[in-house]
Amino acid sequence: MEKQTITIYDVAREANVSMATVSRVVNGNPNVKPVTRKKVLEVIDRLDYRPNAVARGLASKKTTTVGVIIPDISNAYFSALARGIDDVATMYKYNIILASSDGQTEKEVNVLNTLLSKQVDGIVFMGYHITDELRAEFSRSKTPVVLAGAIDPDQQVGSVNIDYAKACKEATELLAKNGNKEIALVTGSLLDPINGKQRLNGYKEALKEANLPYKEGLVFETVYDHKIVEDLAERIINSGATSAIVTQDVLALGILNAIQDRGIKVPEEFEIVTSNNTFLTEVARPKITTTSQPLYDIGAVSMRLLTKLMNKEEVEEKQIILPHGFKIKDSTKK
């Protein structure tokens, strides 16, 4: 015989009250006489009653669940963001439906729709660039959306980022000040506005202020891949670069190793700066000088912003820029 599920109705019957009263007790509604509350709580305990969140979601049109779209959960950058998102979500009693996109637009649209069909109260989106198609989907529903570490040119949805241009400019400035004439920039796809607009601009600006010419041959657009690192390092060296700014820690570490494996001394003969200050910059030898993005905070603040949006609170500014830092370690002369 199947074990019968206990419903709110069973509790009401046993406690000699109405379903509404049980509902009030369960939801902490103060309009219940203490005696009644006590009686109901006893029955709930005795029957081992657990409210059915799905039924509740249907009736109230709130699921206390948010969707989180992530390109790759096993990527340290994204999982750091996810950690921040998750902690704040827990704090505000939300659960998270995690959906992987592999950074592919088609899948992004797909999972977005699945999440919406599951009636999530809001969505945090991590990814590279936001295609028009995706933006269209965002505005098609009234479910609030926040981008964590991604930029929406339209500024229709919320977003949390750092000032990538400034960060990249600072890194370039340091390398220029250290006497480098040939500074390589190694980034992800330039189609992604964070790279192609912000970072590239910051880089160019710093070059100009240092009276260094901008050379296309020093800009390396790449996707991270274990096998590509050796070849990439080779090309960077051949380009004549004496230093490099890398926008991803794993990649920077790979390049650092490849360069040193060739007998080139870091930082004496080659300097390298990276971008995310994950623990990889610490376990590398030498430790890598890095921009420090507050990854956890970007995630946390995104989720916090989303709670406000879901709650229909007034937010003065939906486009949040968090401060970043710069940590000089041992992969640069100073």
Partner DNA sequence: GTGAAAGCGCTAACAA
Partner DNA sequence: TTGTTAGCGCTTTCAC
Closer residue to a copy of itself in complex, CB, 52/311: 52
Cβ neighbors of 220 (< 8 A, separation 6 or more) are: 184, 185, 186, 187, 232, 235, 236
What 3-state DSSP class applies to 280? helix
Closer residue to DNA in complex, CB, 19/109: 19
Is 108 near a copy of itself (CB under 8 A)?
no
The Cβ-side half-sphere exposure at 268, using a 13 Å CA radius, reads 4
User: How far lies 239's CA from each of 183, 218, 220, 228, 242, in Å?
Assistant: 10, 7, 10, 16, 9
Please tell me the distance from the alpha carbon of residue 147 to that of residue 303, in angstroms, as a whole number.
Answer: 9
Closer residue to DNA in complex, CB, 30/213: 30
Task: Count Cβ atoms below 10 Å from residue 190 Cβ, excluding itself.
Answer: 15
Instruction: Output the smallest distance, CB 61 to a copy of itself, in A.
Output: 9
Please tell me the distance from the alpha carbon of residue 187 to that of residue 278, in angstroms, as a whole number.
Answer: 17
Closer residue to DNA in complex, CB, 19/76: 19
Which positions from 26 through 65 interact with DNA, judged by CB under 7 A?
Answer: 26-27, 30-33, 35-37, 49-52, 55-56, 58-61
The residue type at 234? E
Query: Which one of a copy of itself, DNA, none is in contact with 108 (Cβ closer than 5 to 8 A by kind)?
Result: none
Closer residue to a copy of itself in complex, CB, 92/190: 92
Query: Which one of a copy of itself, DNA, none is in contact with 118 (Cβ closer than 5 to 8 A by kind)?
Result: a copy of itself
Closer residue to a copy of itself in complex, CB, 3/33: 3
Instruction: Output the smallest distance, CB 9 to DNA, in A.
Output: 6
Instruction: Output the smallest distance, CB 29 to DNA, in A.
Output: 8
What residues are paired with 220 via a beta bridge? 186
Instruction: Output the smallest distance, CB 217 to DNA, in A.
Output: 56
Phi, psi of 142 (to 5 degrees): -95, 10
Closer residue to DNA in complex, CB, 27/139: 27
Map tokens 């360069």 to a residue. Answer: 259
User: How far lies 264's CA from each of 172, 248, 290, in Å?
Assistant: 21, 21, 20
The footprint of a copy of itself on this chain (CB under 8 A) covers a number of residues equal to 51
Task: Count Cβ atoms below 10 Å from residue 238 Cβ, excluding itself.
Answer: 9
Is 204 near DNA (CB under 7 A)?
no
Is 279 near DNA (CB under 7 A)?
no
Cβ neighbors of 92 (< 8 A, separation 6 or more) are: 303, 307
Is 231 near a copy of itself (CB under 8 A)?
no
Is 96 near a copy of itself (CB under 8 A)?
yes
Query: Which one of a copy of itself, DNA, none is in contact with 197 (Cβ closer than 5 to 8 A by kind)?
Result: none
CA neighbor of 171 nearest in space, from 1, 328, 4, 7: 328
Which positions from 131 through 160 interact with a copy of itself, judged by CB under 8 A?
Answer: 140, 142
Instruction: Output the smallest distance, CB 223 to a copy of itself, in A.
Output: 16
- Quickly list DSSP for 5-65: PP-HHHHHHHHTS-HHHHHHHHTT-S-S-HHHHHHHHHHHHHHT----HHHHHHHHS--SE
Closer residue to DNA in complex, CB, 9/279: 9
Please tell me the distance from the alpha carbon of residue 287 to that of residue 285, in angstroms, as a whole number.
Answer: 5
Which of 283, 315, 321, 328 contacts a copy of itself by CB under 8 A? 283
Please tell me the distance from the alpha carbon of residue 165 to that of residue 207, in angstroms, as a whole number.
Answer: 13
**Which residues form the interface with a copy of itself (CB under 8 A)?**
3, 48, 50-55, 57-58, 63, 65, 68, 72-74, 76, 79-80, 82-83, 86-87, 90, 95-100, 113-119, 140, 142, 226, 250, 253-254, 257, 260, 279-280, 282-285
Positions in the binding site for DNA (CB under 7 A): 5, 7-9, 16-21, 23-24, 26-27, 30-33, 35-37, 49-52, 55-56, 58-61
